[in-house]
Amino acid sequence: MEERANNLIKEKDLVMLYLDDRRQFLVQVVSGLRVSTDHGDLNLSQIIGQPFGFVGKTHLGRDFYCLKPSTADLMMKVKRTTTIVYPKDLGYLLLETSVGPGSRVIELGTGSGALTLVLAKLIAPEGVVYSYDRRDDFIENAKRNLNHVGYAKNVEFTCADVALKGFNQKDVDAVFIDVPEPWDIVPKAYEALKGGHHLVSWSPNVEQVKRTIDALEAHSFKCIRAKEIIEREMLVRLQGVRPRERGITHTAYLIRAQKIIVPQ
Ligand SMILES: C[S@@+](CC[C@H](N)C(=O)[O-])C[C@H]1O[C@@H](n2cnc3c(N)ncnc32)[C@H](O)[C@@H]1O
């Protein structure tokens, strides 16, 4: 009974209003708010007190579905000021670290806050995300994105050029690097990481991968691997099932490595 009550949509909940694949709206529920679409207006008053999964109607009589947003939905709907990390890549890289509830992790750069959001969700309620970016305006946008989904509490932002200044923390559980020149950050990450723990990095170009791995080898990281995750969406239809012709064909090459404490 309690579980059913917990599944009811309340004011301020985040709901994915889904009409079809081209019409999906991530909204925070406010009584009386109307969302306009080319299939009619959705009045959010009608969904308050209904369970997730409820089927509503636009004022033109079209069905819409009240879905619980996935973590990938939250990431993909951030307001973007930069490119963001994609779910297919982050899913793999998170499993390549030991990050979980209570972890202290560093992220560079904050960008639009898509990665920050997922890390903040994962380390809650006791952990901390230390998020760095050299652009104040990007940090402000990321803060708004995190506040919107309610995950700002466990994040500490710092505006600094890390290639010059390094990180302020020691003994963190993981370092996530998403900047154009990761090789400059490798020595700073070594200083900040716990022994045996993980550095992960994203780079769109092969030349960046080579330079980053050279730096990792020179700074006592082991178990270094580079991978690319290729995702293909399937078209499942009466006339035949096959991969879609178009899609995101390349995002980034992914690097993972672990810090070794060199014997004196
Ligand atoms: C691709 S974006 C990061 C996107 C982010 N991972 C996300 O998912 O939203 C790269 C960010 O790194 C920042 N950056 C690049 N080099 C930096 C440095 N040396 N120190 C601090 N920030 C840096 C940029 O300002 C930019 O916001």
pLDDT of residue 61: 96
Q: Report d(CA 5, CA 60) in Å as an integer.
A: 30
pLDDT of residue 6: 85
91 and 188 both lie in a single domain: yes
264, part of any domain:
no
51 and 177 both lie in a single domain: no
Centre of ligand 1 from the C-alpha of residue 39, in Å: 39
> For tokens 């509490």, what's the residue?
153
Residue identifier of the C-alpha nearest atom 2 of ligand 1: 111
88 and 199 both lie in a single domain: yes
99 and 223 both lie in a single domain: yes
Question: Per this entry, what is the length of the chain?
Answer: 264
The tokens describing 229, both together, are 């995750």
62 and 127 both lie in a single domain: no
| Top mutation candidate among 86, 94, 133 for ligand 1, by most atoms within 8 Å of CB | 133
8, part of any domain:
yes
37 and 157 both lie in a single domain: no
Q: Does 188 have pLDDT greater than 60?
A: yes
Question: Percentage of the chain with pLDDT > 90?
Answer: 97
pTM over 0.85: yes
31 and 114 both lie in a single domain: no
Q: Does 93 have pLDDT greater than 90?
A: yes
Task: Print the domain residue range for 50.
Answer: 2-67
Centre of ligand 1 from the C-alpha of residue 263, in Å: 34
Write the CB contacts of 144 (distance below 8 Å, at least 6 apart in sequence): 79
Assign 16 a pLDDT band (cuts: 50, 70, 90). very high
Q: What are residue 55's DSSP bridge partners?
A: 65
Q: What is the mean pLDDT of the chain?
A: 96
Q: Does 114 have pLDDT greater than 70?
A: yes
**110-139: b (≥16 Cβ within 10 Å) or e:** bbbbbbbbbbbbbbeeebbbbbbbbbeebb
| Top mutation candidate among 86, 89, 110, 112 for ligand 1, by most atoms within 8 Å of CB | 110
63 and 137 both lie in a single domain: no
Q: Which CATH number goes with the domain that contains 124?
A: 3.40.50.150
Structure confidence by residue, pLDDT tens digits, 195-214: 999 999 999 999 999 999 99
pLDDT of residue 5: 67
Q: Which CATH number goes with the domain that contains 18?
A: 3.10.330.20
pLDDT of residue 264: 84
100 and 198 both lie in a single domain: yes
Write the CB contacts of 14 (distance below 8 Å, at least 6 apart in sequence): 26, 27, 28, 29, 69, 74, 149, 150
pLDDT of residue 80: 97
Centre of ligand 1 from the C-alpha of residue 51, in Å: 39
Assign 77 a pLDDT band (cuts: 50, 70, 90). very high
Q: Which residues line ligand 1 (CB under 6 A)?
A: 82-85, 108-109, 111-115, 132-135, 138, 161-163, 178-179
Structure confidence by residue, pLDDT tens digits, 136-169: 999 999 999 999 999 999 999 999 999 999 999 9
Alpha helical stretches, state H, 150-199 = 162-165, 182-192
Contact 54, 66 (CB under 8 A): yes
Give the ligand 1 atom nearest the CA of 135: 25
Assign 1 a pLDDT band (cuts: 50, 70, 90). low
Contact 259, 97 (CB under 8 A): no
154 and 46 both lie in a single domain: no
212 and 238 both lie in a single domain: yes
Please give the tally of structural domains in the chain.
2
Structure confidence by residue, pLDDT tens digits, 36-65: 999 999 999 999 999 999 999 999 999 999
